[in-house]
Chains A and B, each alone.
Chain A
Amino acid sequence: MSTAVWQRLSPRMLLVHPVHELLRELPFLIGAIVLGTTTGNQMWTVAVVAYTVVIGVARWVTTSYRIDAGQLQLRTGLLQRKVLSLPLNRIRSVSSDARLLHRVMGLAVVRVSTGQEAKGETGSGVFELNAVEVGQVPRLKAILLADSAEPDETTTPQPDDVLARWQPAWLRYSPLSVSGLLSLVAAAGVVYESGFVGPLQHSRIIESVIDEAQVLGTTSTVAVIGVVILVASVLLAVLRSLLTWGNLVLLRQGDVLHLRHGLLRLRERSYDMSRLRGGTLRQPLLVRIFGGARLDAVMTGVHGAGEASVLLPPCPTSTAEAVLTELVGDREVVTGPLRGHGRRAATRRWTRALSLPALAGLGLVLAPVVDGKAAVPVWVWPAWIAVTAWCALLAVDRIGALGHRVHDGWLVMRSGSVERRRDCLATAGIISWTVRQTPFQRRAKVATLVAATAAGVKRYPLIDVPDDLVWSIAAESSSWVADSIWATRSAH
């Protein structure tokens, strides 16, 4: 398909673009409708609709692309003509994304990523073809990825090896994060912006609710509002998880890892397995209590944090561990025991966790003396005890979590309580080692070992390693450290 002719995107976009534009400008449109009804002049609504339709058509007419001489070019813009060029060998991943209307029309948006948030080269940072016909997507992907991977064996279709499939039981982990609350806040923001709040304030429903609230009294009203917000955010979180991750399939086809997910908006990402340098199992506190975990890929050329590297959303721990074992190839790395960091690291965890409650307690004891008033309110001391107990539990959990292991070409690091993570890194992918010490760490004879990689979040710290062990870990992982002129073995 290497043509030198500029190709337009699918003409079915003439229908899709205007609808998506209208949806995007929905608050503005609602405001126009409200304005139209109040001024009695419907021309506003018609004008806005006509404007969005014209913009949508213009976008289709002025966008074209071609693949030519080892680069992908995209020409866009109505007033300002822009030509974006992307050399094919800079392409790290190709993903496709199809919203509901796209799927109905048989289209998909193809997004090409170079693995950097590059503002300079492609201008906008994201190179997207919105949209091409679904049938063309596999061929486009093959051509776009061909120069970045080894020459592929397209003749024999590889067998699909399904690693994980979405289960409805995964939904029980979705309310355990703040996404529901954030969706609620976002929805409230949109409603406020569209100008609905004004006419709504004087409606009868709100006035009857206010009357009810005055009957109930303030504390019960606050409690009722709290419960309503909680229920609403849980429902929104579950709905959002269902829509984003429903129908998830993670499968391996030869050398390529495919991730497909989404109920209404279908997204598909393909990863080159040769770029995989490990994986991270992340377990936020609440998710861990209910036996769940999430899996992120440590991959070169893919932005390490955020949705770009998510392989599995919160799902049962056994599923996440099984998938990681498949990818890593060694069960000991994923579930094996780790080596703790000893007494000095444990002491540091205790002092760091309890320092704030200790200061607060001191403040509470001194406050009546300094202030001269009577003692602090009765409820403060039980609350302080509860907070201190919570901090102590956090310290114990963190001590239990902190550990590392070097096993057969893999470095495993685990830390954290509220945000527990287990990073499994291929030692071949570790580029440089840094040993970092604050003054307190120097005194406690511990150090932080940072492994720098070109994959994932690029920087993987291992906190509070005893300083007689720290270079041994680096030497065991990377032979060039052990062979360097500065490495000496002390007689033990």
Chain B
Amino acid sequence: MALSEGVEMVDPAHPPSRRAPLRWAVGGVIPWLLLAVGQVVWLGFDKRMPWLHILIGVATVLGVVVSTAVVPLWRYRVHRWELGPQAVFTRTGWLVQERRIAPISRVQTVDTYRGPVDRLFGLANVTVTTASSAGAVHIVALDVDVADHLVAQLIDIAAIGAEDAT
């Protein structure tokens, strides 16, 4: 193999669906809203220690703001995916960012998952698993038709090779 010093990887090309930030905002704010409800109930029962209530209230407001305004847009700027002829390459995360590349010859299963919030927005999540439990590739918040097309392409390419995937 030729000298491979200085190999750089171009980022994958495709972003997730345009509805992805809204879906992430809705999905992220729900736990904080539950926490806020819990706090209101607590305030109803126990009015001692007002400083503690204020502290946790401020934290909850901060959490709501971050999870609706900051995280979804940041994530939308980072997430990318692309399917090449031999491999699939993704970029995920927001604070901690990961780039993962996996060869299609080692793919074992291709799964599609749609949670209740995903169904609301017409989105789907595709997971490509390999023989390694640490090597699964996740492509989240795709439009349903894009996801179906991707799954069909993957199964097509993966079925052509016949080697043992370990």
Contact = CB atoms under 8 A, between A and B. Distances in A.
A432 B111 CA distance: 18
B1 A471 contact: no
Contacts, number: 123
B6 A489 contact: yes
A203 interface: no
7 contacts: A432-B102, A459-B134, A480-B86, A482-B4, A486-B10, A486-B89, A489-B6
B7 A487 contact: yes
Nearest to B133: A458
A300 interface: yes
B38 interface: no
Interface in A99-140: none
A482 B7 contact: yes
Interface stretch (B90-98, B117-125, B148-156): B90-98
A486 to B, nearest CB: 5
A481 interface: yes
A24 interface: no
Interface in A460-492: 468, 471-472, 474-476, 478-492
B132 A458 contact: yes
Given A484-B89, A485-B84, A438 B9 contact: no
B122 to A, nearest CB: 29
B64 interface: no
A484 B84 contact: yes
A486 B9 contact: yes
Which of B11, B82, B103, B132: most chain A CB closer than 10 A? B132
Interface in B1-36: 1, 4-12
A442 B97 CA distance: 9
A432 B132 CA distance: 8
B130 interface: yes
Please name the 7 residue pairs, one residue from A and one from B, whose CB atoms are nearest each other, closest first.
A452-B135, A459-B134, A432-B102, A432-B135, A454-B131, A452-B134, A452-B132
Contact of A431 (B11, B97, B106): B106
B101 interface: yes
B114 interface: no
Given A300-B166, A432-B135, A433-B100, A484 B130 contact: no
B137 interface: yes
B50 interface: no
A431 B132 contact: yes
Nearest to A457: B134
Nearest to A467: B8
Given A452-B130, A453-B132, A480-B87, A471 B95 contact: no
A437 interface: yes
Nearest to B166: A454
B99 interface: yes
Contacts of A433: 100-102
A300 B100 CA distance: 22
A482 B103 CA distance: 12
B44 interface: no
Contacts of B11: 486
In this complex, which of B85, B98, B103, B134 has the most chain A Cβ atoms within 10 angstroms of its Cβ?
A: B134
Contacts of A478: 103
B161 to A, nearest CB: 12
Given A438-B96, A479-B1, A484-B89, A432 B8 contact: no
Contact of A434 (B95, B99, B166): B99
Given A431-B102, A485-B85, A436 B4 contact: no
A478 to B, nearest CB: 8
A459 B82 CA distance: 23
Given A431-B132, A432-B130, A433-B101, A476 B4 contact: yes
A471 B132 CA distance: 20
Nearest to A300: B166
Interface in A390-434: 429, 431-434
A453 B132 CA distance: 5
Contacts of A432: 100-103, 106, 130, 132, 134-135, 137
Contacts of B103: 431-432, 478, 480
A487 B132 CA distance: 23
A476 B166 contact: no
Contacts of A468: 6, 8
A338 B87 CA distance: 29
A468 B106 CA distance: 27
Nearest to B128: A432
A450 interface: yes
Interface string A191-220: 000000000000000000000000000000
A364 interface: no
Contact of B10 (A436, A439, A488): A488
A450 B134 contact: yes
Contacts of B100: 432-435
A436 B99 CA distance: 7
A484 B87 contact: yes
Contacts of A491: 6
Given A468-B6, A488-B8, A439 B95 contact: yes
Given A453-B132, A472-B5, 5 more contacts: A431-B135, A478-B103, A481-B101, A486-B9, A487-B7
A281 B10 CA distance: 35
A15 B12 CA distance: 67
A472 B6 contact: yes
B82 A486 contact: yes
A125 B95 CA distance: 38
Contacts of B82: 486
B4 to A, nearest CB: 4
